[in-house]
Chain A
Amino acid sequence: DAKTTQPPSMDCAEGRAANLPCNHSTISGNEYVYWYRQIHSQGPQYIIHGLKNNETNEMASLIITEDRKSSTLILPHATLRDTAVYYCIRWETSGSRLTFGEGTQLTVNP
């Protein structure tokens, strides 16, 4: 199984940056790091993905270490609507199977 390790829960104050870590120490060279989030009882929402370089889009930034063994998802200015379970997933795009783990429950507090 393609495993990642994430803290089960994190808290963040509204308006502050939320930094969500993910460990993927056994990642192989052709596996991407994908991030999704799931707000309670809704479908998962794609956030961002990357292979080696740091990536940024309108939702978040993804920082991948040079050795690719870990990454951090950054929500620059967290809002209450960012409260969700965040999933870090290793994915080799030659296969269609996205394997979701337990994720990190991020709670943004007012």
Chain B
Amino acid sequence: ETGVTQTPRHLVMGMTNKKSLKCEQHLGHNAMYWYKQSAKKPLELMFVYNFKEQTENNSVPSRFSPECPNSSHLFLHLHTLQPEDSALYLCASSQDATETQYFGPGTRLLVL
């Protein structure tokens, strides 16, 4: 499925690097989400954007900085990450924040 795309698919970064994850949805949705899935753990919601406005921040450390310039694009800016931040980062979108969410393929992040 190509409704929600994420780039890059894999990323290796050092703790002092700055990188960004990109998510794009082609479904005409108005809500977008970032989730984190660490090894052998359930998905954890990080951020919610509805009509470009952040409506939820699930106590995420400030080294993760989201950006939603429009309803089709969502970024996650990363800086000074820790090895324990290594995980699969998933983007999702929905028509609005009350509708079914559709996920992208994820970015596998490794922090060295």
- Show the binding face of A for B, using Cβ within 8 Å: 34, 36, 41-46, 49, 93-94, 96-102
Q: B100 interface residue, CB < 8 Å from A?
A: yes
Contact residues of B: prevailing secondary structure: strand
Contact residues of A: prevailing secondary structure: loop
Q: B64 interface residue, CB < 8 Å from A?
A: no
Question: Which residues from chain B contact A34 at a C-beta distance below 8 Å?
Answer: 100
Known A-B contacts A43-B106, A44-B43, A44-B90; A96 and B55 likewise in contact (beta carbons under 8 Å): yes
* B108/A97 in contact, CB under 8 A: no
Of all chain A residues, which has the CB nearest B33? Answer: A96
Question: Which residues from chain B contact A102 at a C-beta distance below 8 Å?
Answer: 42
- Show the binding face of B for A, using Cβ within 8 Å: 1, 4, 6, 31, 33, 42-43, 45, 48, 50, 55-56, 88, 90, 92, 97-106, 108
Question: Which residues from chain A contact B6 at a C-beta distance below 8 Å?
Answer: 43
Of all chain B residues, which has the CB nearest A48? Answer: B100
Distance of A10 Cα from B92 Cα, bound (Å): 28
Q: Closest approach, in angstroms, between the C-beta of B33 and any C-beta of chain A?
A: 7
20 contacts between A and B (CB under 8 A): A36-B103, A41-B88, A41-B106, A43-B103, A43-B105, A44-B43, A44-B90, A45-B103, A46-B103, A49-B100, A93-B99, A96-B31, A96-B48, A96-B55, A96-B56, A97-B56, A98-B45, A98-B101, A99-B42, A100-B43
